[in-house]
Structure 1
Amino acid sequence: MESSRDVANAPAVAIVPPGRPLVGRVVPPGSKSITNRALLLAGLARGESVLRNALASDDTGHMAQALRRMGVPVRQDEDDGATTFVVSGTGRLAPPDGPLLLGNAGTAMRFLTAAAALVDGTVVLDGDAHMRKRPIGPLTAALGALGVEARDTEGRPPVTVRGRGAFGASAVTIDAGLSSQYVSALLMAAACNDRPVTVALAGAAIGARGYVDLTLAAMRAFGAQVLQEDVGRWRLSPTGYRACAYRVEPDASAATYLWAAEQLTGGAIDLGVAPADMTQPDAAAHDLIARFPRLPETIDGSQIQDAVPTLAALAAFNETPVRFVGIANLRVKECDRIRAMATELARVRPGLAREEGDDLVVAGDPDLAATARPARIETYADHRIAMSMALVGLRVPGVTILDPACTAKTYPRYWRDLARLGVVLRPE
């Protein structure tokens, strides 16, 4: 583990291919997606909620701090590497004394924008330079249709919401083509309204529908009553939420890097949890990863979006080319992940990957290590680019990851866990 000691503070880290199977036990952190949902629901609930096996990271830290700023005490306890949040809610959120600064935490920005409608007062939500490029217009438009004054900045943050404690209408149609988080945000807030609310999709398009199911499961755990009227319409009863003890499952997106590391090195990594026991959409990537080095010719990434960079890194060593389709939404994540993966894989070897429209095509070469060249990998302040491209370094000599600290967004122990498996990391 000593090789990972200074990685978090280093401007770059060089990865030394282990040259042997990676064997050991590494338990992924708690799910970021579930932790941020549970934090908000606990903040909206009455009473003390205890969230065990939660994720402590930049993203969840932004959510927890925003709740504190809105009058909700949130305590974070650590015990042998496991994080527990204790949230003491009153059933209401108070206006903060200034803008909520949410970094590049997309879930916090979207979820809190809708929840701000329940505040009796004004809430300003802002983020860093990357967040100010991410779309939020469909959500603010939906809030407007619900009678909430919500003003964005040319369809992006910062956002100003003038809440009145409840929605002014009882039905809304939301365009979720860019993100399922818009739907999740409205659903979670709607259960706290003073009358029933119906949330419907505009058309069938929705990014990563499985995350809506994740939202509904968490809401029900906190006492919400939701009737799914059809595949794209939900009716929320005005129940509010009740405090509960809630256990967060391990993060499936984080697990994809470990599953891929196992395949790339012929190793055996015990994650302490079976993919079938995970409810997150990215758990479905396990079956694809297990097919390496014979990945399918075409992979539809629409429902496993956060796993696509992992699969793209794996595809670089595949026996045949792989085309990733259904991934246009990756252009509006923390960075343009289609362009980033195409650019950085091509840095390892020209022509290794390319964009074709909104598809990503990876050439695939089992002998890539013999023809690759040393590469300093730009990460675009995106944790998933850093962690995925680090996988390439498990086979290719000379791979250096710039800004390795960006992995703290969702997986602060990533470099430490690689080192525990025997990967030598050289901070630069």
Structure 2
Amino acid sequence: MPNALPPAYAITPPNRPLTGRVSPPGSKSITNRALLLAALANGTSTLTGALKSKDTVLMARALRDMGVTIEEPDATSFRVTSSGRLGVPQKPLFLGNAGTATRFLTAAVATIDGTVVVDGDEDMRIRPIKPLVDALVSLGIDARSPTGCPPVTVHGNGRFGQGKVEIDASLSSQYVSALLMAAPFGQGPIEVALTGKEIGARGYVDLTLAAMRAFGAEVEARDDGSWVVQPTGYRATDFHIEPDASAATYLWGIAALTGGDIDLGVATDAFTQPDAAAQTIIAAYPNMPAIVDGSQMQDAVPTMAVVAAFNARPVRFVGIANLRVKETDRIRAVANELNRIRPGLAVEEGDDLVVHSDPLLASDSFNADSDIRIETYHDHRIAMSFALAGLLVPNVVILDPACTGKTYPDYWDMLSDLGVELTPTD
């Protein structure tokens, strides 16, 4: 398959179980955490099992712009050498629509003695970051975001403050992770505390804490809503990154919908990422539960929703309000595109998504009169999840397939290798 992807792919249903061995790419979430922590550590760290995708490339480029040496010995490794401090970049840090990189670096650049602008593309410029900026200001850091979204300008003085900082994490757990990872550069211990108990995808904070401790940080949880971080800085270490659980959801979906068997080479219980909880939900197909709480496995919701379209009974997804501030409004996007397949297949009810499952979609009696052209909204997860619909429904066309390069550059090659026919089209 060519490196330059076409404007669209038409998918031909394979009409057979799909089987094979597929190794998911490395975790994007863990790769970007490890890259930043290695850049904040004095010495050389080797990261293995890493993801090389648009988001992690943007993170690595930004770290290089701040004086960090990052070598790439092979397709899944980074060798990071740093003085343990970031330097002032000569230009604004451009991070595209990489939410993790943007949020993490907004806090990290506050440790620099100088001015840094953290910016992104037009989609990133409508994604909220005000709660994180407000938290930085409360620590005495001069951080400004006139629109409440990127760009953010940080005038750092080389110190990250001390004491207690409160953060509203109801929109994103990434705000908490950003503060935690910068906190070892405080002038004294820093307590990071939630303003309420509500937090998006708490499991990702656990990923952050595990990575921080691997790089030598001393962090203690006081209760469910606060953590105390000692001013230790970080030490270089070698770190292995597990496969991406969000990517694995597509493979579990392929197996479920086609009655096949995909060997991921890793047991489900070996994942530490919260999206791995989706495996149980997907494996229950065609008898998925009537209500699915997606609050702690948000990136898996589009996958589960597409699988639910073929379920034996309707499925309501709850706890997913945060999906409205992802790369796109994923609640609306999923509903819109499911309704392209069959009008009335999905509906938004407040911030819930109700999928009116229809097993007949997978039968010979269902035939679209024309191509079902799936709009992907520049969102990798919409493209990858709706490709699963094309395994059962004829005439599904995925627009802008190249957007999957954000987290899974080999996604279409993977489908092709499993025997799915993909026809380039306009």
TM-score (norm 1): 0.97
Q: Which residue of 2 aligns with 1:127?
A: 120
Kindly indicate whether residue 373 of structure 2 is the aligned counterpart of residue 379 of structure 1. no
Q: Give the 5 Å matches for 1:19-30.
A: 19-30=15-26
Q: 1:169 offset after TM fit, Å? A: 3.8
Q: Which residue of 2 aligns with 1:34?
A: 30
Which one of 65, 68, 72 corresponds to residue 64 of structure 2? 68
Kindly indicate whether residue 247 of structure 2 is the aligned counterpart of residue 251 of structure 1. no
User: Where in structure 1 are there 5+ consecutive unaligned residues?
Assistant: none
Q: Which residue of 2 aligns with 1:147?
A: 140
Note if contact 1:70-1:96 (Cα within 8 Å) is conserved in structure 2: yes
Q: 1:168 offset after TM fit, Å? A: 3.2
User: Where in structure 2 are there 5+ consecutive unaligned residues?
Assistant: none
CA distance in structure 2 between the partners assigned to 1:368 and 1:170 by the alignment: 57
Residue 234 of structure 2 aligns to a residue in which SS?
coil
Q: 1:70 offset after TM fit, Å? A: 0.4
- What is the one-letter code of the residue matched to 1:202? T
Q: Number of residues paired by the alignment?
A: 421
CA distance in structure 2 between the partners assigned to 1:421 and 1:193 by the alignment: 50
Which one of 410, 418, 421 corresponds to residue 421 of structure 1? 418
Note if contact 2:46-2:78 (Cα within 8 Å) is conserved in structure 1: yes
Q: Which residue of 2 aligns with 1:172?
A: 165
Q: Which residue of 2 aligns with 1:17?
A: 13
Q: Give the 5 Å matches for 1:45-56.
A: 45-56=41-52
Q: Say if 1:91 and 1:139 are closer, same or farther in 2 by CA, change over 3 A.
A: same
Deviations 1:161-212 (Å, cap 9, x if unpaired)?
Answer: 1111112342100000000000000000001223111100001100000000
CA distance in structure 1 between the partners assigned to 2:2 and 2:386 by the alignment: 19
Deviations 1:72-110 (Å, cap 9, x if unpaired)?
Answer: 0111232xxx41000001110001001000000000000
Which one of 278, 286, 289 corresponds to residue 293 of structure 1? 286
Structure 1 vs Structure 2 CA RMSD:
0.9
CA distance in structure 2 between the partners assigned to 1:422 and 1:77 by the alignment: 31
Kindly indicate whether residue 185 of structure 2 is the aligned counterpart of residue 192 of structure 1. yes
Q: Which residue of 2 aligns with 1:400?
A: 397
Deviations 1:362-416 (Å, cap 9, x if unpaired)?
Answer: 0111111333523000000000000000000000000000000000000001000
- What is the one-letter code of the residue matched to 2:61? Q
CA distance in structure 1 between the partners assigned to 2:420 and 2:3 by the alignment: 13
Deviations 1:330-379 (Å, cap 9, x if unpaired)?
Answer: 00000000000000000011011111111111011111133352300000
CA distance in structure 1 between the partners assigned to 2:216 and 2:299 by the alignment: 29
Percent of residue pairs bearing the same amino acid type: 66
CA distance in structure 1 between the partners assigned to 2:381 and 2:367 by the alignment: 22
Note if contact 1:147-1:169 (Cα within 8 Å) is conserved in structure 2: no
Q: Give the 5 Å matches for 1:247-326.
A: 247-326=240-319
Note if contact 1:348-1:372 (Cα within 8 Å) is conserved in structure 2: no
Q: Which residue of 2 aligns with 1:240?
A: 233
Residue 156 of structure 1 aligns to a residue in which SS?
coil
- What is the one-letter code of the residue matched to 1:371? F
TM-score (norm 2): 0.98
* Runs ≥4 residues deviating over 6 A: none
CA distance in structure 2 between the partners assigned to 1:340 and 1:215 by the alignment: 29
CA distance in structure 2 between the partners assigned to 1:59 and 1:170 by the alignment: 32
- What is the one-letter code of the residue matched to 1:126? D
Residue 13 of structure 1 aligns to a residue in which SS?
strand
Which one of 83, 92, 102 corresponds to residue 85 of structure 2? 92
Note if contact 2:162-2:187 (Cα within 8 Å) is conserved in structure 1: no
CA distance in structure 2 between the partners assigned to 1:244 and 1:343 by the alignment: 46
CA distance in structure 2 between the partners assigned to 1:270 and 1:134 by the alignment: 36
Residue 204 of structure 1 aligns to a residue in which SS?
coil
Q: 1:7 offset after TM fit, Å? A: 7.2
Q: Which residue of 2 aligns with 1:77?
A: 73
CA distance in structure 1 between the partners assigned to 2:424 and 2:47 by the alignment: 34
Note if contact 1:6-1:427 (Cα within 8 Å) is conserved in structure 2: no
